[in-house]
Amino acid sequence: MARYKMVGNNRIELTAEELTVLNARETTWSNGALDRALNKLREKRNKLLVETDWMANSDVTMSDDWKTYRQALRDITSELDTVEKVNTKLKVDEDKTSETYGKYINFPTKPGA
């Protein structure tokens, strides 16, 4: 299948060399999709962990519920080996009538929430 580029107002077929470079770029981008998705998930997870880091101070006694919640956050990336699985974790509740609207519905639930 021919691929083209625009030069001015002219549509020109890519050379074999240009096509090789383009295919290599597209392959590299595609191969990095899982890493990009996992990084996005980790950013969200890390933000939630930071919000509760104060509970890990030596002068605070953390309840078992909070320990379980924090461990579940740390474990959230385990067994995620496809972009689809990561996107399932990143699914946000879009039902404006729901009490969880705007929240990640497949993330661990904070104790007392």
pLDDT interval class at 1 (50, 70, 90): confident
Q: Is the pTM of this model over 0.75?
A: no
Who's near 107: CB < 8 A, 6+ residues apart? 44, 45, 48, 73, 76, 89
Who's near 19: CB < 8 A, 6+ residues apart? 3
Give the side-chain half-sphere CA count within 13 A for 60.
11
Q: What is the pLDDT of residue 62?
A: 87
pLDDT averaged over every residue in the chain: 90
Q: What is the pLDDT of residue 113?
A: 54
Give 11's DSSP letter.
Answer: E
pLDDT tens digit sequence for 43-84 = 999 999 999 888 878 888 888 999 999 999 999 999 999 999
